[in-house]
Amino acid sequence: MEANNAELSPYHVDKKVKKSMKNNKYRTYIKKLIKSKTGIVGFVLVLSICFIAMLAPLLAPYDPYKINAAQMLIPPVWIDGGTSNHILGTDNLGRDILSRLIYGSRISIIVGILSVVVAGFIGVVFGLIAGYYGGFIDTVVMRLVDSFLSVPTILFCLVFLTVLNPGLFTLIFVIGVTSWVMYARLVRGETLSIREREYVKAARTIGVSNLKIITRHIFPNVISSVIVISTLSVAASIITESSLSFLGLGIQPPTISWGIMLSEGREYIATSWWLSTFPGIAITLTVLGIIFLGEWLRDVLDPRSRGM
């Protein structure tokens, strides 16, 4: 037994080396982040929006739901008639726009992330199965994907949402179900190429089961591209959520979302532009931040640029 331990020792010593290697890896990630200016912008934007969403009750100067008939349609502070009490002004019911923006970020983040999780899960599972087994299963899945692609996402969502009860989780589910095709196509394509690698052949000669080959050999090698497009599609989901809420089929008032703020401000756009402009800017900045972050992630995770 002692002899065994003596023989094993180099393996255990190596754990320290492994730790330092991991640190090195993170250091190269950080180095790459600092090098990429858009990466930093994206990182800072996304991080601050997450913080704002989490700390909304502390940051918001007013109750976002509180109606104040005496202070309707006050313009932002830098316009004549604006007051420093309401920096971004108030809406048609006298509610503070800044507070509403801060609370609205929560919905956007939740919908954006959860719908991508739903879509990613469905898409990855279908993509792996279609790509690995090929043949008839592949044909069926890909025809399904084609038929989903032939209908515009927003129309799909509209149909679903009019049938189902509108609400936060319905919305997440619907956006997820309508956008899984992107993942399925991507994962299928990657699986097709990885399936032919010799390490998959090696696993088959060993006698590893198909399920294990998929989970241990194929999935870990497609996950990095899935992560990259899922960051990008968080942005798309936020926009879809806003559009659906704008159309009145997404989040229902009085719950606040940026899309609802946009749609409520629409009637006043000629006289009080700030009602819909600020949520619009918020959506743009969030989406831009996520896209920048996604591009940086692609640089870091893409195997082709790895090691450079």
Q: Which residues bind another protein (CB under 8 A)?
A: 4, 7-8, 10-11, 13-15, 17-18, 197-199, 201-208, 212, 216-217, 220-221, 303, 307
State the nearest-atom distance from the C-beta of 135 to another protein, in Å. Answer: 13
State the nearest-atom distance from the C-beta of 228 to another protein, in Å. Answer: 16
40: Cβ contacts below 8 Å, ≥ 6 apart: 33, 34
* C-beta closer to another protein: residue 216 or 266: 216
* C-beta closer to another protein: residue 185 or 217: 217
State the nearest-atom distance from the C-beta of 1 to another protein, in Å. Answer: 9
Cβ proximity of 279 and 261 under 8 Å: yes
DSSP code for 218 = I
* C-beta closer to another protein: residue 220 or 253: 220
Q: Where are the alpha helices (DSSP H) in the chain?
A: 2-35, 37-54, 56-59, 97-133, 135-149, 153-163, 168-178, 180-195, 198-206, 210-212, 219-246, 258-265, 274-301
Closest CA relative to residue 64, chosen from 96, 39, 36: 96
* C-beta closer to another protein: residue 226 or 261: 226
What separation, in Å, do the N-terminal and C-terminal C-alpha atoms of the chain show?
A: 45
Cβ proximity of 168 and 108 under 8 Å: no
* C-beta closer to another protein: residue 7 or 80: 7
State the nearest-atom distance from the C-beta of 199 to another protein, in Å. Answer: 4
State the nearest-atom distance from the C-beta of 297 to another protein, in Å. Answer: 17
